[in-house]
Amino acid sequence: MQLPSHINHSLRSKAISAGGLPLSMIPSFRLIEDELEQVKRLIDEQLAEAREPVGRLLRNVNICSGKMIRPGLVLLSYRVVLDGPCANGLSTKSAENAEKRPKLSKSSTFVDSAVSDNQHDSHYDAICVAAIVELIHNATLLHDDVIDGGQKRRGLPTVNNLCGNESAVLLGDFLLSKAFKICAKLDPEITNIVAGTAVRVCEGELGQIAQRQNWQLSESEYINIITEKSASLFSSCCLLGGLLAGASESQIRSLAEFGLNAGIAFQITDDLLDIIGDESKTGKTLGSDIDKNKLTLAVIHLLRAVDEEEKSAVINSYLLNPVRDSVTRDNVIQKGGISKGLNHEACLERDARCGKESLAEILERFGSFKYAYGRVQEFVTKALNALTDLQESEAREAVIETAKFIGERAI
């Protein structure tokens, strides 16, 4: 597949490989690597309590092996405020609840005699919130793989592939229960934000399902869907990090706006990678949006750019999955693929890949990739503009780098 002319090929290769980047390869996260390790340990400690057969199922989930962007945003937002001149420490409510918090093992407890008790408590709460959002995110991935029929996640077979849909759904529910168990030990204000965000994420996912095969879906409707199902969690991560560090109202608004726009950009790039990505580099099953008739920004632009006759042809040839599958299966049989000793599933996979490449070529020809990429950059710019009122610091630069990294994933 030929890429849009405005795209730098080497950058695109680097960006697509970001699907499996280790933390050290995300420059902005080097500032918080120690804290991210604490998040991992807290999650490990929580999951180590699971009895069999849950423990056996958990060994099939690569929790904390992804980019950890969401917990990273919690921790970076916390640092942005704490490093600024206006930080006022933790609220007294959170300090009063210190004794009710779950305890980390000595190896993962944050200890620094130079910080106040309030900052110590707020830092611990930030680690807890970062762990909570990562658990929620992993739960949604388990559920998404069931919905989309995903066969690979982070380079390994999915739980639904190995153990069936029932186990995958229930394991996702288990991760959610662990997240809310940690939540119960935190300040009610924090818990309410997390719970409200979880509701929005679910509403967004349900909204997207309700719009399947709605070939009239507008761009604004699409943006509303991804705002709820993805960007709301990004926004809450930044808001919570700032809140725990004692941010002012204006700082909290700035961080929440940053997270919202960065989250929208992130989801648009994810949707682009679903079409142009390389599974061997992203580590997950691609093409699920098309297979499940979910409209994404590039496709919405294409359907708006072509005339009615072309639109009907695109829908019937590339977007209506049942028609494409039946044609593909007939082609495999008529070509004698099975009788020649070729693997049936391999034939189907090959034809599906060809279909995706053909769709990608059309999307490129009508400027749909270029348009979607341009929108990504617009939302990244909005995210960066939201930070103008925050004091310059190393943490602020790291937040800026994170937004730029999100935008480059679509290159």
- Rounded to the nearest 5°, which phi and psi values hold at 369? -65, -45
| Cβ pair 366, 306 in contact under 8 A | yes
Write the pLDDT tens digit of every residue in 109-137: 333 334 444 555 899 999 999 999 999 99
Please give the chain's pLDDT, 411 residues, in tens. 232 333 333 333 333 343 444 444 578 899 999 999 999 999 999 999 888 888 888 887 777 777 899 999 999 999 999 987 544 443 333 344 334 333 433 333 333 334 444 555 899 999 999 999 999 999 999 998 898 887 777 767 888 888 889 989 999 999 999 999 999 999 999 999 999 999 999 999 999 999 989 999 999 999 999 999 999 999 999 999 999 999 999 999 999 999 999 999 999 999 998 888 665 555 555 666 787 888 999 999 999 999 999 999 999 988 885 444 434 434 433 444 433 334 544 444 544 555 678 888 999 999 999 999 999 999 999 999 999 989 999 999 999 999 999 998 755
Q: Which residues pair with 153 in a beta bridge?
A: 156
Classify residue 348: in a domain, yes or no.
no
Classify residue 4: in a domain, yes or no.
no
Burial class, 93, CB count within 10 angstroms (exposed 0-12 / middle 13-18 / buried 19+)? exposed
Classify residue 343: in a domain, yes or no.
no
Classify residue 207: in a domain, yes or no.
yes
What gap in Å lies between CA 295 and CA 217, rounded to an integer?
8
Classify residue 44: in a domain, yes or no.
yes
Q: β-strand 156-157 against 152-153: which pairing, if any?
A: antiparallel
Distance of CA 107 to the CA centre of its chain: 29
- Rounded to the nearest 5°, which phi and psi values hold at 155? 85, 0
- For CA atoms 201, 151, 372, 71, the dihedral sign is positive
**Would you put residue 365 in left (φ > 0), alpha (ψ -120 to 50) or beta?**
alpha
Classify residue 63: in a domain, yes or no.
yes
Classify residue 317: in a domain, yes or no.
no
- 51: which DSSP letter? P
Tokens of 258: 């940053």
Write the pLDDT tens digit of every residue in 209-258: 999 899 999 999 999 999 999 999 999 999 999 999 999 999 999 999 99
What gap in Å lies between CA 401 and CA 202, rounded to an integer?
29
Classify residue 339: in a domain, yes or no.
no
What's the predicted TM-score (pTM) here?
0.80
Full domain range(s) for residue 166: 9-306+366-408
Give the total number of structural domains in the chain.
1
**CATH at 166:** 1.10.600.10
- Rounded to the nearest 5°, which phi and psi values hold at 156? -125, 160
Burial class, 56, CB count within 10 angstroms (exposed 0-12 / middle 13-18 / buried 19+)? exposed
